[in-house]
Amino acid sequence: MTRTHLTQRLALLGACGALAAGGALLPSTALAAPATPQVTAAQTIQELPAHEARPKEVVKTRITITERVLRDGRVKVVTVKTITRVTKDHHGKVIKKSVKTITTVKIRPAPDEE
C-alpha cells in the first residue's frame, strides 16, 4: 500500500484551494469588466450545434363552447378544452404527441324575461 507524504498532501490541498479560489474570483471579475460589447463570445454561443439539437415542443389549445336551451328553459353550457402537445427533434420528426381533453358541463337557470 502506498502512503502519501505530508508534503504531497499539502501540495494537493493547496492546488485544490487555488482552483476553488480561481473559480470564485472568475464571476466577480466578469462583473468588473468594461462595458465594451464582446461580439465574438456571443457569436460562438449562437453557433453551438447543441442548442439546435434540442427537441422542440409545440402546444396548441382549442376551446369549444356550445349552449343549448333545455325544455324547461334552463341553459346547458358545454365547454370542451383540447390541449395538444407535440415534441419534435431537430429534424422535425415527431418524437412524442399527447392530447388531453377536458369537458365541463354547466346547467344555468332559465333567464328571467320581464
Q: What is the largest CA-CA distance in the chain?
A: 100
Return the pLDDT at 52: 58
For residue 107, which of 81, 75, 79 has the smallest C-alpha distance?
75
* CA atoms within a 13 Å half-sphere pointing along the CA-CB vector of 89: 4
What is the model's pTM?
0.47
Read off the pLDDT of each residue in 39-51 and give the average, rounded to a whole number: 41
pLDDT at 83 over 70: yes
Cell of residue 105, nine digits: 358541463
Domain boundaries, the chain: 1-32, 52-108
User: What single DSSP character describes residue 7?
Assistant: H
Cell of residue 77, nine digits: 353550457
Poorest-pLDDT segment among 5-14, 38-47, 77-86 = 38-47
